[in-house]
Amino acid sequence: MSLRARSLVLATAVAAVTVLAVAACGKPVPPVKQVGQAPDSFRVTFETTRGSFVVQVNRAWAPHGADRFYALVQNQFFDGDPLFRVVPGFIAQFGLNLNKKINEQWDEPRIPDDSVTHSNLRGTLTFAAEGPNTRNHQLFFNLADKNARLDRTGFAPIGQVVSGMEVVDSLYSAYGDAPEQHFINTMGKSYLDRMFPKLDYIKTVK
């Protein structure tokens, strides 16, 4: 093969890789829609691969958390998200978008802590946190009344399941804590499909 031919092959290969890289980036992420303060009370329906259930959020329980959850719902953040951490008798956690750039839109600012005004009883919905003032876009459903012990560590419920708790109880739980958040955030659905193919997903929240 001549030097010119080799150069042409190399250029073609580089171009192909570039096209694939651009395609992998997907469409630009739309800007966050500003929606303002949440209503005093509102209900949303979670449509999942396991069925549907209804959550009522009460802003008075945890105003900062309710406002952030309302904004996430209005921006369709949860649509298509995995229920990636389901531990029987403990929690069902969600709130990692499969698009890293969308997660980054909501990583900051973190939500200021709310006072704990209601207990983490079975069926309540609560933001996950890594410490004081660290809440952003991950939440969990409490699956047992024993989670009331979370009250003293600052986990403030924002609402509760009012219909369809049996669906929450039936979410696929055999993987437990195994799915790793870092890989979900960086590799998305390809990681979950390969390693945890039976996970349940949120279709829509509205």
Q: Would you state the pLDDT for residue 131?
A: 95
- In angstroms, the CA 136 to CA 62 distance is 14
| Contact present, 123 and 91 (Cβ < 8 Å) | no
| Contact present, 142 and 120 (Cβ < 8 Å) | yes
- In angstroms, the CA 152 to CA 7 distance is 67
The CA-atom distances, in angstroms, between 64 and each of 9, 74, 112, 156, 206 are 57, 16, 7, 10, 19
pLDDT, one tens digit for every residue, the chain (206 residues)? 443 444 443 344 334 333 333 444 456 899 999 999 999 999 999 999 999 999 999 999 999 999 999 999 999 999 999 999 999 999 999 999 999 999 999 999 999 999 999 999 999 999 999 999 999 999 999 999 999 999 999 999 999 999 999 999 999 999 999 999 999 999 999 999 999 999 999 999 99
Q: Would you state the pLDDT for residue 68?
A: 98
Residue 85 is part of a domain; what is its CATH number?
2.40.100.10
**4 falls within a domain:** no
Task: Print the domain residue range for 176.
Answer: 41-205
pLDDT in tens, 59-85: 999 999 999 999 999 999 999 999 999
Domain count, the chain: 1
**10 falls within a domain:** no
Please report which residue ranges of the chain form alpha helices under DSSP H: 3-25, 63-74, 100-107, 165-169, 181-187, 189-195
**80 falls within a domain:** yes
- In angstroms, the CA 65 to CA 136 distance is 9
pTM value? 0.87
**3 falls within a domain:** no
Collapsing DSSP to helix, strand or coil, 204 comes out as strand
Q: Provide the CB-side half-sphere exposure for 147 (13 A, CA).
A: 25
**33 falls within a domain:** no
Buried b (16+ CB within 10 A) or exposed e, 97-118: bbbeebbebbeeebbebbebeb
